Amino acid sequence: MDTTLQDPLVGQLLDGRYRVDARVAVGGMATVYRAVDIRLDRVLALKVMHPALATDATFVERFIREAKSVARLSHPNVVGVFDQGADGAYVYLAMEYVAGCTLRDVLRERGALQPRAALDILEPVLAALGAAHRAGFVHRDMKPENVLIGDDGRVKVADFGLVRAVGSATNTTGSVLGTVSYLAPEQIEHGTADTRADVYACGVVLYEMLTGGKPHAGETPAQVLYQHLNTDVPAPSAAVPGLALELDELVASATARNPEVRPYDAVALLALTREARATLGDEQLDAVPPQAHSQAHSQDEVAGAGPEERTSVIPRATLPPEAQPVQHTSRLPMPPPEPRPEPRRGTRRPRGPLLVIAAVLLALGIGAGVWYINSGQFTRVPAVLGQTEAQATKRLTDAGLDVGASKRAFSDVYERGTVMASDPASGERIRGNGTVTLTVSRGPRIVKVPNLKGKPLAEAKRLLAKEGLAAGVVTTSFSQDIAQGAVISSDPEPGTERSPDSAVALVVSKGVPIDVPDVTGDSVAEATGTLQDAGLTVRVATERIHSPEAAGTVAAQSLAEGSRAAKGDTITLTVSKGPRMIEVPDVVGDSTDTARGKLEAAGFDVKVEKTFPFLGDTVSGQSAEGGSTAPEGSTITLTIKGL
């Protein structure tokens, strides 16, 4: 039965523009539909937040952040975002529609993949994440469900719904947001995620592609989380004998439990992946994994149908003991008894007496849960008002406090980017390891464009950012009175009122124009000196060409005489190989017009000398004999004598 028939959105026109045709997928926070933009007559995907979450400002903010973040990424392996909006209870993103399947579908159908196929999928995924990482974003929810494989073979990364700026990943003692099977240890233990959390998830995905199963399994999410914290991801070759050692090392590097020993970001992991591929032969890349292994996994484990595969908010009460904040009194289900392997070098060991006790109880399988006792110790919130968010965060963490997700608000008193309030407030009592939420100023609700004329571009951008504005399109123009690299004008003009984060276009000076001199026919040394004296940079092309100019002299220049250039612009010089030598046609006995035509067609200039012009028009001689060679473009003189 087609369940989309029961979906109230199917068949509806969302926001007066998007006709919802079918439901594609349902996730923990949103549903994805195939739709048509009736305004542009374009098929696209609509990601609609579950109405129950649309009332939560935090989730809506995250949803909108996805639209803004991905819209800034222009990469062929990232699913593009076209639009964002709301229609009543429905908050949505309009995205690129990729006809095909997900990597999860492929793993469900085929199980383990050949190493070549696994790397062919991993590399574009890392390229997409690398672009995000270098742009300052972390995905935070990498998994096979978010890897789309188009019918044309293109691989794209989707669902940047948990994306967050690299510098803003903060500790959340109350919950962890993500997908259990792919969470890095630091996400579980501290709630923090930077680029290395995406690297860890990609290592788990690579393991799954190579083996057909996940590295950690359990009857409950808590058991899986416990293994992420305490057990290394096993070598893929342990599950699929014969896999190359380089693949084991690649997975081990990406999934190191200590983030400090992982590749720093997806760009670094992509480099390691390509190095590993380069060392493998065709036999190793095309090794066929045994199907028996893939079939040995349960349907949930291979297909990812279990609850641990949904992106969800995981309450700390369900996390394993090492991830629990000690101030909470909570009970959690225990994983079955298992041996405790020695941690990989550089990985985290359990700390403190409570954690040691928890580990012993877990190893013995005693009881249904572990209780944490509140120490009852209190401290006071340090003064952080007026400090930058980074300064305030450091001061709070130095005091042993956690910092929750920051809020943003307008303020006419506090500068943009500084703390304007905290909850609890400065000076209030709080438990020794409690959480403080900061409110950071966005600056005034209305800001004025500053006067940037004459300011160097870097300084102009800094001044705009200080006022809460952004530098928009930058164009260049010559100027007689504004120094090169400084701002000539802005759009809007200085003093114009704009809302924060508005873009300001800038025109930057190229300086006083330079009239390019003609250096064709000069030696390379002479030409270089002439151009450099004019304030230009010289480049000499490696390839030489035939020209009428003498061999070794300048045959052509990239900017012709009289062109205008800016100081420091590069002029490329092409050196002559001298004229081409071509064969001279024999035209003796031809009429003047016929002879001229033959010679000009061959590449020569023609000069005619007539002794008695009124007595005839037949060529009786030529300055270069027919059959000989002469420089292309040289002049052949014809003699015309009367009869």
Residue 442: what residue type?
A: R
pLDDT for the residue numbered 329: 29
Question: For 52-63, how does the pLDDT look when each residue is reduced to its tens digit (9 = 90+)?
Answer: 777 777 777 777
pLDDT band for position 510 (cuts 50, 70, 90): very high
**312 compared with 155, residue with greater pLDDT:** 155
Within a domain: 351 = no
The CATH number that applies at residue 48 is 3.30.200.20
Residues 200, 307, single domain; the answer is yes
pLDDT for the residue numbered 66: 64
pLDDT band for position 193 (cuts 50, 70, 90): confident
pLDDT value at 311 more than 50: yes
Within a domain: 348 = no
Residues 133, 225, single domain; the answer is yes
Q: How much is the average pLDDT of 170-192?
A: 68
pLDDT for the residue numbered 479: 93
Within a domain: 342 = no
Q: Please give the residue range of the domain that contains residue 530.
A: 514-575
Q: E strand or H helix at 98, and its extent? A: none
CA distance 103 to 113: 11
Residues 200, 118, single domain; the answer is yes
pLDDT for the residue numbered 166: 46
Residues 134, 256, single domain; the answer is yes
pLDDT for the residue numbered 310: 53
**Residue 504 β-bridge partners:** 471
Residues 293, 168, single domain; the answer is yes
Residues 519, 496, single domain; the answer is no
Q: How much is the average pLDDT of 1-16?
A: 74
Residues 566, 464, single domain; the answer is no
At residue 475, φ and ψ (nearest 5 deg) are -115, 165
pLDDT for the residue numbered 20: 94
Within a domain: 353 = no
Look at the chain and report how many structural domains it folds into: 6
Q: How much is the average pLDDT of 365-387?
A: 52
pLDDT for the residue numbered 168: 39
Q: Considering the chain, what is the average pLDDT of its residues?
A: 80
Residues 6+ apart with CB under 8 A from 443: 410, 411, 415, 416, 467, 468, 500
Q: What is the largest CA-CA distance in the chain?
A: 129
Sign of CA dihedral 466, 467, 473, 475: negative
Within a domain: 165 = yes
pLDDT for the residue numbered 337: 35
Question: For 564-578, how does the pLDDT look when each residue is reduced to its tens digit (9 = 90+)?
Answer: 999 999 999 999 998
| Domain termination site, one of 441, 459, 481 | 441
User: DSSP letter string over 433-470?
Assistant: T-EEEEEEE---SSEE----TT-BHHHHHHHHHHTT-E
Within a domain: 356 = no
| Domain termination site, one of 575, 595, 628 | 575
The CATH number that applies at residue 621 is 3.30.10.20
Residues 141, 262, single domain; the answer is yes
Q: How far apart are the first and last CA of the chain?
A: 105
In terms of average pLDDT, the best of 283-292, 519-528, 606-615 is 519-528
pLDDT for the residue numbered 564: 92
Can 402 be counted among the known catalytic residues? Answer: no
pLDDT value at 29 more than 70: yes
The CATH number that applies at residue 164 is 1.10.510.10
Question: For 264-306, how does the pLDDT look when each residue is reduced to its tens digit (9 = 90+)?
Answer: 899 999 999 999 999 999 999 998 887 534 433 433 433 344 4
pLDDT for the residue numbered 178: 59
Helices (H), 487-612: 524-533, 592-602
Token code pair at residue 221: 């999410």
Question: For 212-221, how does the pLDDT look when each residue is reduced to its tens digit (9 = 90+)?
Answer: 999 998 778 8
Q: How much is the average pLDDT of 191-195?
A: 83
Within a domain: 355 = no
Q: How much is the average pLDDT of 73-79?
A: 87
Sign of CA dihedral 160, 161, 162, 168: positive
CA distance 26 to 8: 14
pLDDT for the residue numbered 291: 59
pLDDT for the residue numbered 609: 87
Residues 123, 172, single domain; the answer is yes
Residues 306, 420, single domain; the answer is no
Question: For 601-610, how does the pLDDT look when each residue is reduced to its tens digit (9 = 90+)?
Answer: 998 999 998 8
Residues 426, 453, single domain; the answer is no
- State the Cα angle at 228 between 181 and 197, rounded to 5°: 70
pLDDT for the residue numbered 360: 32
Q: Mean pLDDT lowest for which of 12-26, 185-199, 364-378, 480-494?
A: 364-378
CA distance 32 to 23: 6
Within a domain: 614 = yes
219, 215, 218: which is closest to 201 by C-alpha?
Answer: 215
pLDDT value at 374 more than 50: no
| Domain termination site, one of 96, 118, 146 | 96
Active-site pick, 141, 232, 402, 590? 141
Residues 529, 599, single domain; the answer is no
Provide the phi-psi class of 511: left if phi over 0, else alpha when psi is between -120 and 50, else beta.
left
